Amino acid sequence: ALQQDNDSAHAKLQRITQLYAALSQCNQAIVRSRDEAELFAIICRDAVNFGGMKMAWIGLLEESGQWVKQVASFGAGIAYLEGLEISLDAESPKGLGPTATAMREDHPFWCQDFQHDPATAAWHERGARFGWAASAALPLHRKGHVIGAFSLYTDVAHAFDEEAQHLLVEMAMDIDFALDHFVDEAQRAVVQQALQEAEEVYRAAFQSSPDTININRLEDGLYLDVNAAFERVSGWMRDEVIGRTSAEINIWHDMADRSRLLEHLQRDGGCENMKAQFAMKDGTLRTCLMSARKITLKGVACILSITRDMSAQEQADARIQQLAHFDQLTGLPNRALLNDRFKYSLSLAQRSGEPLVVMFLDLDHFKTINDTLGHSIGDQLLMEVSRRLKSSLREEDTLSRMGGDEFILVLPGTDEAGARQVAGKLIEAVAHPCQIEQYELVNTISIGIALYPHDGEDFETLSKHADTAMCRVKQASRNDFCFFTQEMQAHSARTLQLLNALRHALARNELALYYQPQIALQDGHIIGAEALLRWTHPELGSISPDEFIPIAEDSGLIIPIGEWVLRSAATQARAWLASGLPPLVVAVNLSAVQFRHPNLTELVNRILAETQLAAEYLEL
């Protein structure tokens, strides 16, 4: 049961990790994709390749508004979609499934048990052939209107727990964001093209443009015409401004901008993307980009102005920039931005001969907090730690979150003495207790330091050596820092070798228990035995517990190894009793990692029941 619980927890963690990866890939696809077709294909592919889904597809509503048409799909079992008909008619059996329901109700549909959910009854037989155990359908929107659905299938029942649902909803929202962005880009292209067309086309574009368009008399700024977007953005109705000048309605926040526009018109005949601030009817200010040209209407010199409100665009650009270069949880630079900044700092160091420091930081015992108090508390802790670390640094320093509780810090113009000072400040900043909801958490951090050029001349080498030094701190005491040395490199290689070998030690029967007698001083009788774990590798020979036990603890392998030790010791104690020997108490040493494991008591009780050993014969 414990193994099943562990497997279930591991599977859940793996699913969530995969969905985070799929969300990250989705964000990258939004940045890279040129159109909807390319975006949809990548989203379906990444949901399978990174998100752990078996199959994913996207369907859009046909022009009739009644049927859903498949436009993209990926994964094992796409043959499931052949001949599949989905209607939005709630009275039709073909309109009762997850996809149609999600689109019709504009709400995600979570089918946790595909083969037994009445909503999928029409597809049970077909789904069984492909192994569908759960499915999800999330509505997709374009400018707030449902236009399709993103459907996913998995062979794991109840796979869409609350956290998975949250991640998939966020992914769907990001897809909606991209669809709106495509619409905006298409609309702007329409405006630019329309200005080059004939008068009839121009008039249609004039009124339908999302950008404000107005025509003013050149000599005094008298309004001759404005479009609907002008009314919507400025708050001024067409009838209120026609026949009045721009000065009369005080639309220019700074008249120097109007003078600059007139200079462009006089010198160049127009301007492109001139930034200016305009006052709306309600007094609010908006930063806009204006493009203007001199035109002649019925012999009168006029100005044709197209003005774009940049507030929404700036928000969209900032969102794309955030997705591409910053960690979504902490707001710190991601690895891509870190690499760019390191290259810049390295080039300065190479030209000037100044030192450069790379630090690898790891929050101590974060996994325990995350597993015990939940991911929400863990995320809030990471945000608070990030804020404290950043507030302790200079503007030119770059702190990046690498994932989980790991950070990398680049310090340009910093030598060994400076690195010591900074590391001390960071440790002190993190050590202060922080209140996360009802919990007061006391945190520590371990830091490894590598110096350029002594410890490496490129990012990969320096970060690897800083990581090695950080691991040494973890092994020694935590809550400290140390500098990389070449001796650590050899130790790190040995640790990696032992870790890889230890992963297979149980399966290959390389572990053994030896029993050290415990003797009563009064009469010399043997009253018990202490179980001692030993490891003999076929190539590396006998390996000391002092060397492999810490590796097992750091890697988590101590949990399955510890379970094997408990079961083996209890089995041996029961065998001794069954053979007629006097009662003996077998003592088993437990790791602190095992004591922190929530299922320890359940494990011990289960092993005692399996081996039929009375509890008084086992000492922990």
Element (H, E) at 610: helix 600-611
The residue-averaged pLDDT of 391-396 equals 93
Q: Is the pLDDT of residue 552 over 70?
A: yes
Element (H, E) at 446: strand 445-452
* Model pLDDT, residue 10: 56
* Model pLDDT, residue 30: 77
Burial status of residue 225 (CB atoms within 10 A of its CB: 0-12, 13-18, 19 or more): middle
Structure tokens at 41: 């294909």
The residue-averaged pLDDT of 400-421 equals 92
**What's the CA gap between 568 and 571, in Å, rounded?**
5
pLDDT tens column, 145-162 = 999 999 999 998 998 888
One-letter amino acid identity for 257?
A: D
The residue-averaged pLDDT of 515-537 equals 86
- The C-alpha angle with vertex 531 and arms to 478 and 586, in degrees rounded to 5, equals 120
**3-state SS of 286-299?**
EEEEEEEEEEEECC
Please provide the average confidence, as pLDDT, over all residues in the chain: 87
- The C-alpha angle with vertex 493 and arms to 487 and 505, in degrees rounded to 5, equals 135
* Model pLDDT, residue 194: 46
Backbone CA torsion sign across 376, 378, 379, 385: positive
**What's the CA gap between 608 and 584, in Å, rounded?**
15
Structure tokens at 287: 């930063």
Return the CATH fold of 203-313.
Beta-Lactamase (3.30.450)
**What's the CA gap between 520 and 529, in Å, rounded?**
11
**Comparing 4-18, 109-123, 261-275, 541-555, which segment has the lowest mean pLDDT?**
4-18
pLDDT tens column, 67-122 = 999 999 999 889 999 888 899 988 888 888 899 999 999 999 999 999 999 888 88
Q: Is the pLDDT of residue 582 over 90?
A: no
Q: Is the pLDDT of residue 580 over 60?
A: yes
* Model pLDDT, residue 199: 60
Specify the domain boundaries for CATH 3.30.450.20 within the chain: 203-313
Structure tokens at 253: 């926040």
DSSP 209: -
The answer for residues whose C-beta is within 8 angstroms of residue 375's C-beta and 6 or more apart is 163
Q: Is the pLDDT of residue 1 over 50?
A: no
**Comparing 216-220, 242-246, 595-599, which segment has the lowest mean pLDDT?**
595-599
One-letter amino acid identity for 328?
A: Q
Structure tokens at 10: 């591991």
Sheet holding 270-279, edge to edge: 223-226, 212-217, 300-309, 285-297, 270-279
Sheet holding 406-412, edge to edge: 398-403, 406-412, 356-363, 445-452, 481-483
Q: Which CATH class is domain 326-484?
A: alpha beta
Burial status of residue 199 (CB atoms within 10 A of its CB: 0-12, 13-18, 19 or more): exposed
- Could you list the beta-strand ranges (E) of 124-191: 134-142, 145-154
* Model pLDDT, residue 471: 85
At residue 198 the predicted structure's pLDDT band, cuts being 50, 70 and 90, is: very low
In this structure, the chain runs to a length of 620
Q: Is the pLDDT of residue 213 over 50?
A: yes
Q: Is the pLDDT of residue 541 over 50?
A: yes
**What's the CA gap between 354 and 293, in Å, rounded?**
52
The residue-averaged pLDDT of 569-598 equals 88
569-571-576-582 Cα dihedral, nearest 10 degrees: 70
Element (H, E) at 545: helix 545-555
Q: Is the pLDDT of residue 495 over 70?
A: yes
* Model pLDDT, residue 551: 85
**What's the CA gap between 331 and 239, in Å, rounded?**
47
Contact assessment for residue 141 and residue 60, using Cβ atoms and an 8 Å cutoff = no
Q: Is the pLDDT of residue 226 over 80?
A: yes
* Model pLDDT, residue 107: 94
Q: Looking up tokens 């990174």, which residue turns up? A: 50
* Model pLDDT, residue 190: 64
* Model pLDDT, residue 410: 94
* Model pLDDT, residue 178: 87
Q: Is the pLDDT of residue 436 over 50?
A: yes
Of the chain, the end-to-end C-alpha distance in Å amounts to 21
The CATH number that domain 12-187 falls under is 3.30.450.40
**What's the CA gap between 505 and 589, in Å, rounded?**
19
Structure tokens at 427: 């440790």
One-letter amino acid identity for 379?
A: D
Pairing of strands 481-483, 356-363: unpaired
pLDDT tens column, 283-314 = 888 888 899 999 998 888 999 999 988 877 77
* Model pLDDT, residue 518: 87
- The C-alpha angle with vertex 325 and arms to 319 and 327, in degrees rounded to 5, equals 85
- Paired with 110 in beta bridges are 136
- The C-alpha angle with vertex 19 and arms to 15 and 25, in degrees rounded to 5, equals 145
At residue 15 the predicted structure's pLDDT band, cuts being 50, 70 and 90, is: low
The verdict on whether omega for the bond into residue 453 sits within 30 degrees of 0, i.e. cis, is yes
**What's the CA gap between 382 and 244, in Å, rounded?**
57
Structure tokens at 403: 């994932």
- Paired with 519 in beta bridges are 526
3-state secondary structure of 429: helix
Specify the domain boundaries for CATH 3.30.450.40 within the chain: 12-187
Specify the domain boundaries for CATH 3.20.20.450 within the chain: 501-619
Contact assessment for residue 307 and residue 278, using Cβ atoms and an 8 Å cutoff = yes
**501-619 to CATH, choices 3.40.50.620, 3.40.50.150, 3.30.360.10, 3.20.20.450:** 3.20.20.450
Structure tokens at 534: 């030993």
Specify the domain boundaries for CATH 3.30.70.270 within the chain: 326-484
Q: Looking up tokens 């077998």, which residue turns up? A: 586
